[in-house]
């Protein structure tokens, strides 16, 4: 499931590539046809993320709310002109070719799939039509003259009013990017301090704290040395504060790098090896049965609230 850093990166891509543009909105799959008709032809004014949810604001007081859920992802295709280009003179609408007077190369379509992971490719667009044909069950397509964003497999995709957006935001816990470190800590403390829920479950509750998913949950608890089954009400305030401060530390790293990095003490070649290999990025997540990197205890695996839970019984007690 995409965690908070991924959704913040997606929102940032929309801000840099589409905000300020009039957007053609369609639903190739058909399941969002009514919502697409409401948004079609409007200017995208802003796009922001809170936790795992993204909100795109259009003119006319309408928002697009997207929750990627477990399987959702955005595919971005960007037309990049390496020379001055014009539409094909023969009237093939949407076909791009190099302008007369010489070409420095064919136009390129840069594609990025953004969800739980990001993958980028570049393909020649010479002779291809723009925009590219939808692939698979595209719930919604947002299109400008040079950027195409296709959404597949979301849990939520809906057109809503500002009042409905405000109601959704009120139900979400603090997000370091949105609330800041100080205000976010106050909100997190007030929400979490007296809960009897095991801390391993509470960190996944988006009404308590926004954006933390399965990987960050396991890694943050390891870094804090906290048993995931500890009732939250039994944690000292400094332990809760350490968890919040660590989330404020790790989230910007994920937003910057595009990957979840929790072994933050590495330097030089060890750091590069960690960035290059998923298996080296985490302390406990995905390492069931392997020795703890700190104490050698085999990493434990259980299920909590339907999700896999990893922890070290030697370090977390």
pLDDT for 100 equals 28
- Cα(197)–Cα(202) distance, rounded to whole angstroms? 6
Q: pLDDT tens, 30-74? A: 999 999 999 999 999 999 999 999 999 999 999 999 999 999 999
pLDDT for 3 equals 94
Q: pLDDT tens, 170-181? A: 999 999 999 999
- Cα(116)–Cα(182) distance, rounded to whole angstroms? 28
- Cα(172)–Cα(205) distance, rounded to whole angstroms? 9
Q: pLDDT tens, 205-246? A: 999 999 999 999 999 999 999 999 999 999 999 999 999 999
Q: What is the mean pLDDT of the chain?
A: 87
Report, as an integer, the average pLDDT of 127-135.
84
* Residue 117 reports pLDDT greater than 60: no
Here the tokens at position 51 are 């936790």
- Tokens 């007369």: give the residue: 100
Q: Which residues pair with 140 in a beta bridge?
A: 151
The percent helix, strand, coil of the chain (3-state, each to 5) is 30, 25, 40
- Cα(227)–Cα(225) distance, rounded to whole angstroms? 7
* Residue 121 reports pLDDT greater than 60: no
Q: pLDDT tens, 258-294? A: 989 898 888 888 888 877 888 888 999 999 999 999 9
Q: How far is CA 317 from CA 117, 143, 193, in A?
A: 32, 51, 19
pLDDT for 279 equals 80
Question: Could you tell me the domains of the chain?
Answer: 4-167 (3.20.190.10), 174-311 (1.10.8.50)
| Residue 227: strand, helix, or coil | coil
pLDDT for 236 equals 97
Rg (CA), the chain: 22
Q: pLDDT tens, 66-109? A: 999 999 999 999 997 643 333 333 333 333 322 223 222 233 34
Active site residues: 2-3, 52, 307
Contacts of 268 (CB under 8 A, 6+ apart): none
């Amino acid at each position: 499931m995409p965690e908070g850093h991924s959704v913040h990166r997606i929102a940032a891509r929309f801000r840099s590539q589409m905000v300020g543009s009039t957007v053609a909105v369609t639903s190739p799959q058909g399941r969002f046809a009514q919502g697409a008709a409401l948004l079609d032809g409007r200017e995208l004014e802003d796009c922001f993320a809170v936790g795992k949810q993204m909100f795109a604001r259009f003119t006319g007081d309408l928002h697009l709310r997207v929750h990627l859920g477990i399987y959702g992802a955005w595919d971005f295709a960007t037309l990049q002109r390496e020379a001055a280009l014009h539409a094909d003179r023969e009237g093939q609408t949407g076909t791009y070719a190099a302008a007369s007077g010489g070409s420095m190369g064919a136009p390129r379509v840069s594609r990025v799939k953004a969800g739980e992971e990001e993958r980028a490719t570049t393909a020649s667009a010479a002779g291809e039509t723009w925009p590219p044909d939808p692939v698979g069950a595209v719930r919604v397509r947002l299109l400008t003259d040079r950027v195409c964003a296709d959404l597949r497999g979301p849990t939520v995709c809906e057109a809503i009013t500002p009042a409905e957006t405000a109601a959704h935001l009120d139900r979400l816990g603090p997000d370091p990017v949105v609330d800041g470190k100080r205000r976010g800590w106050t909100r997190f403390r007030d929400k979490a301090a007296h809960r009897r829920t095991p801390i391993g479950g509470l960190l996944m509750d988006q009404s308590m704290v926004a954006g933390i998913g399965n990987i960050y949950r396991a890694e943050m608890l390891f870094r804090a040395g906290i048993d995931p089954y500890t009732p939250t009400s039994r944690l000292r305030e400094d332990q809760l504060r350490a968890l919040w401060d660590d989330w404020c530390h790790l989230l910007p790293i994920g937003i910057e790098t595009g990957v979840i990095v929790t072994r933050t003490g590495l330097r030089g070649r060890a750091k590069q090896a960690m960035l290059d290999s998923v298996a080296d990025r985490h302390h406990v997540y995905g390492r069931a049965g392997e020795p703890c990197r700190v104490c050698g205890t085999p990493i434990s695996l259980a299920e909590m609230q339907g999700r896999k839970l990893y922890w070290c019984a030697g370090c977390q007690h």
